[in-house]
Amino acid sequence: MLELAEMFFAEVPQRLTILRDGLAQGNAAEVARVAHLLKGSAGNIGAARTAALAGRLEKAARGGQLGEGAPVFAELEHELPRFRAALDLYLATHAAR
């Protein structure tokens, strides 16, 4: 799991940039594609809230509702550091055992 989490967080900055740019440029197809990738990889490491937010963003983009995607993206940007902190704490406490 640690390896998957490291890969996930290594990819997050680029994916967020693509999502941010896609939302700004009205590129629904790109937003849907990257949100789908983020949803899957977040689900693989147990980041359920991140996966759900990415899923909502994907759904908005596929429905041509990018205006609805902007607040979801903002939530996603706030959720990722929270999940990272929780994961780091979990790994630190379980690695010490």
Question: DSSP of 18-72, one letter per residue?
Answer: HHHHHHHHT-HHHHHHHHHHHHHHHHHTT-HHHHHHHHHHHHHHHTT-HHHHHHH
Residues 6+ apart with CB under 8 A from 74: none
Count of other CB atoms within 10 angstroms of residue 46: 15
Tens-binned pLDDT, residue by residue, of the chain (97 aa): 778 888 999 999 999 999 999 999 999 999 999 999 999 999 999 999 999 999 999 999 999 999 999 999 999 999 999 999 998 888 888 765 5
> pLDDT value at position 94?
79
Q: Which of 55, 57, 62, 88 minimizes the C-alpha distance to 74?
A: 57
* Domain boundaries 2-95, corresponding CATH code: 1.20.120.160
**Residues 61/49, Cβ–Cβ less than 8 Å:** no
